[in-house]
Amino acid sequence: MPDISLTTLILLCLAAAAAGWIDAVVGGGGLLLLPALLLGLPHVPAAHVLGTNKAVAIVGTSGAAVTYLRKAPVRVGLAVRVGLMALAGSMTGAFFAAGISSDVLRPVIMVVLLGVAAFVMLRPSFGTAAGDGTDRPVTRARIVMAVVLVGGGIGFYDGLFGPGTGTFLVLALTAVLHLDLVTASATAKIVNVCTNAGALAMFAYQGTVLWQLAAVMAVFNLAGGMVGARMALSRGSGFVRAVLLTVVFSLVAKLGFDQWNA
């Protein structure tokens, strides 16, 4: 573990807990966790920060996924199929991560996020479908779209860059499979575990994970993730939608700030 002060370690752990909560509710915990690691570890190579981020995030995401599976309706088979494609996509993205400049990706992601925010705001009924989200028929074409575009595409993005992956998964699953936001959040957690696992495997292979620091932060991330999942389940789609819009606008603000400084 790098030589960091106790104050920095405490702040990183608190950031990990908050990121776990955000990620469990609607995704986008990387918005908080990755910048916190970059600020707390200014002299650590970016690849090590990305690898450590994945090692922390996978623990909280796994805890949230287990909590959702116990209480939320999820098409587990479909989630696993999307997740396996996402795992392959994230490993590929992580492999190419060292050669891609984030300055190229930021403007594109900002445009996409602004489009997402406009869509959700103009469609108040989006993600508030009646029912449990599992009794509506899903065509073969939509399943293929979910596996290839949601799994492969977003999985690749997660390995390559990362922040906002959970948010993109929730939105894509809601749009493609007609799930309500709570069910989409639950399904996204299973897929997100796979994307984190694929990227982490590649970062571990490349030796760019600070395992001791990640282990300490992961405990707090797990606690935050489990609390966030319970709150999403108890408060429903309206609560998730409000958090979703907050996270989307925060992502845009953060990416815009980074782009301006660059």
Per-residue model confidence as pLDDT tens digits over 148-200: 888 899 999 888 777 678 778 888 888 888 877 778 888 888 898 988 898 89
Give the Cα separation of 169 and 64 in Å (integer): 15
Q: How many helices (H) and strands (E) does the chain have?
A: 10, 0
Judged by DSSP in three states, 150 sits in: helix
DSSP, res 73: -
pLDDT digits (tens, 9 = 90+) for 53-109: 999 999 988 988 888 888 777 778 888 889 999 999 999 988 887 665 555 656 766
Dist. CA 94–CA 200, nearest whole Å: 8
DSSP conformational letter for 151: I
**From CA 254, how far away is CA 262, in angstroms rounded?**
12
Q: How far apart are CA 53 and CA 23, in angstroms?
A: 13
Q: Are 186 and 72 in contact (CB under 8 A)?
A: yes
Q: What is the pTM of this model?
A: 0.74
Nearest to 6 by CA among 211, 210, 213: 213
Enumerate residues 6+ apart whose C-beta is below 8 A from 125: none
Mean pLDDT of the chain: 80
Per-residue confidence (pLDDT) for residue 131, from 0 to 100? 44
Return the amino acid letter for 215.
A
